[in-house]
Amino acid sequence: MEPLKGLLSTLWKALTDQPDPKAPFLESIPEDYRSLASAVLSVAPILMVFPLLFALTTVLERKGLGRIQNRLGPNRVGPAGFLQFAADGLKTLTKEDVVPRAADRVVHFLAPIALVIPVLLTFAVLPFGRNLAPIDLDAGLLFFFAVSSATELAVFMAGWASRNKYSLLGALRAVAQMVSYEIPLVLAALSVVMITGTLSLSAIAAAQSPTPGSFLAPWYVFTPWGLMGFLLFMIAACAEANRSPFDLPEGESEIIAGYYLEYSGFKFALFFLGEYLGLFASSGLAITLFLGGWNAPFAFMQGWLPSWVWFFAKLATLIAVFIWIRGTLPRVRMDQLMGLAWKFMIPMTLLTLVAAGLWHRLPSAPLRWVACTALLAGAFLVLGRVLMPRTRHGRRVYRYAD
């Protein structure tokens, strides 16, 4: 009875932003099991909340894409189609697991696991609420990037072990894309690190808390370098998660499904899960770095809702934006993808770093606003000009047909 009471108290404390929410439950159980229980308390909510969010996202994404294309979207299973994810889950669970005869069985089996585990680990350092960071690591940001870099290896394992040329091509594309976009991703995040002077994600989120008396919260997205960094970070995160318009590792038209072509049943579901969880983790990191983490947008709203509600509201918004982008943009070509990463994203992120440095050094508010805005807008215009002629199409002329 005592542990249950402690658990309820822990839950209540976690949901109402009180400090050290784990304490009541940990005090109610024997000393020897406390570290284990603490770990379970950190991991279990992540394992419950994010797969559920994934399930809901798949349904909402399909409904949203349908609406964008003037269709209704899924509407058969459950009320308004919202139980579609349960049907999909049951289907993937009960499907036959086919492994190609030529495949490298062990690596083929390990690849989906090697994808999902690092992605789940990245959630360990994200602060979901005021006192809700599973591990408050001093080098949290570094941990995030170190762990997420392991997913590239999993993608390669999947593509190579399938012994299918389309899988291998998809895997090589995916790895090249992820390596290329990891640089702007890290550089965009670095600008925030430069300003806050810490790698701890909790400290970064706390640094964006509104000061009493001010109106707007000091989110970094409200500064010129922060806005540019946020946009670049989101583009890079989109490419890291292999989402449209950067989903050419799985381009159906030329390589069928990319690296998970030879996966079926539950392993395919794991890949799908890993991809979406990666998207959530990147979005969560973007929220923490640029969108003020669990802080309310305006100072007077700060106490209105528990902090985690703000976090998940922002997360839902970002996911909606990703779905919106997916419904809008066509897939880019491989050369366009690489050109964007190396010719545009990396110079822009480096300039964002310079702008963040200027922002930090320049004393007066109007001066640094003007200087940073001028620098970034000018760079954007110039780089855009340099890139644009490639994408400018003239009137199409048909020489032989009428």
Residues that bind other proteins in the complex, under the rule CB under 8 A: 32, 35-36, 38-39, 64, 67-72, 75, 107, 137-139, 142-143, 145-147, 149-150, 152-153, 156-157, 160, 168, 172, 175, 179, 182, 197-200, 324-325, 327-329, 344, 380-381, 383-385, 387-388, 392
The least distance separating other proteins from the CB of residue 359, rounded to whole angstroms, comes to 19
CB of 76 to other proteins, least distance (A): 9
Query: In terms of CB distance, is 205 or 269 closer to other proteins?
Result: 205
Q: Are 146 and 153 in contact (CB under 8 A)?
A: no
| Minimum gap (Å) between residue 214 Cβ and other proteins | 27
Measured from the CB atom, the residue of 37 and 217 that comes closer to other proteins is 37
Closer by beta carbon to other proteins, 188 or else 269: 188
Nearer to other proteins, 300 or 342 (CB): 342
The closest alpha carbon to 201, from 130, 275, 302, 113, belongs to: 130
Say how many Å lie between the first and final Cα of the chain, rounded. 84
Q: Least distance in Å: CB of 11 to other proteins? A: 21
Q: How far apart are CA 124 and CA 46, in angstroms?
A: 8
Nearer to other proteins, 82 or 272 (CB): 82
Three-state SS annotation for the chain: CHHHHHHHHHHHHHHCCCCCCCHHHHHCCCHHHHHHHHHHHHHHHHHHHHHHHHHHHHHHHHHHHHHHCCCCCCCCCCHHHCCHHHHHHHHHHHCCCCCCCCCCHHHHHHHHHHHHHHHHHHHHHCCCCCCCCCCCCCCHHHHHHHHHCHHHHHHHHHHHHCCCHHHHHHHHHHHHHHHHHHHHHHHHHHHHHHHHCCCCHHHHHHHCCCCCCCCECCCHHHCHHHHHHHHHHHHHHHHHCCCCCCCHHHCHHHHCCHHHCCCCHHHHHHHHHHHHHHHHHHHHHHHHHCCCCCCCCEHHHCCCCCHHHHHHHHHHHHHHHHHHHHHHCCCCCHHHHHHHHHHHHHHHHHHHHHHHHHHHHCCCHHHHHHHHHHHHHHHHHHHHHHHHHHHCCCCCCCCCCC
Nearer to other proteins, 5 or 165 (CB): 165
Angle between helices 34-68 and 105-122 in degrees, nearest 10 = 100
Cβ at position 107, least distance to other proteins in Å:
7
Q: Closer to other proteins at the Cβ: 80 or 299?
A: 80
Minimum distance from CB of 104 to other proteins (Å)?
8
Q: Nearer Cβ to other proteins, position 88 or 152? A: 152
Sign of the dihedral through C-alpha 257, 260, 262, 264: negative
Q: Which is nearer to other proteins, 52 or 321 (CB)?
A: 321
- In whole angstroms, how close is the CB of 324 to other proteins at the nearest point? 6
**Closest approach of other proteins to the CB of residue 120, in Å:** 15
Compute the least distance from the CB of residue 125 to other proteins, in Å. 11
Whose Cβ is closer to other proteins: residue 28's or residue 42's? 42
Report the nearest approach of other proteins to the CB of residue 364 (Å).
Answer: 26
Integer Cα distance of 279 and 276 in angstroms: 5
